[in-house]
Chain A
Amino acid sequence: MGVMKRLTNIVQAKANKVLDKAEDPRETLDLSYEKQIEQLQQVKRGLADVATAKKRIELQAQQLQQAAAKLQNQARQALAQNREDLATEALTRRSGIATQLEGLKTQHDQLAQQQERLEATTQQLQARVEAFRTQKETLKASYTAAQAQTKIGEAVSGISESMSDTGLAMQRAQDKIAQMQARAGAVDELLASGTLTDLSGSSDPLQAQLDKAAASSDVQLQLAAMKSELGQGAPAPSAELAAASAEGAAEEPVDGEVVADKTAPAPADPFSLDDAGGAS
Chain B
Amino acid sequence: MIVRILGEGQFELDESQVGALEDLDKQLLVALEAGDEASFHAVLGQLVKKVRADGKPVAPDRFVPSDLALPHESASLEELREFLASEDAGES
A residues near B, CB below 8 A?
2-15, 17, 113, 117, 120-121, 124, 127-128, 131-132, 134-135, 154-159, 161-162, 165, 168-169, 172
Contacts and interface: CB of A to CB of B under 8 A. Distances in A.
B60 interface: yes
Contact of B60 (A4, A11, A13, A124): A124
B29 A10 contact: no
A5 to B, nearest CB: 6
Contacts of B84: 3, 6-7, 10
B29 A161 contact: no
> Chain A: interface secondary structure?
helix
Contact of A4 (B21, B61, B62, B72): B21
Interface of B: 3-4, 6-10, 21-22, 25-26, 28-29, 32, 60-72, 74, 79-80, 83-84, 86-87, 92
Given A154-B65, A161-B65, A168-B7, A3 B25 contact: yes
Contact of B63 (A8, A113, A158, A165): A158
Contact of B66 (A2, A3, A11, A124): A11
A169 B87 contact: no
B29 A154 contact: no
B61 A135 contact: yes
Contacts of A159: 63
Nearest to A114: B74
Contact of B68 (A4, A113, A155): A4
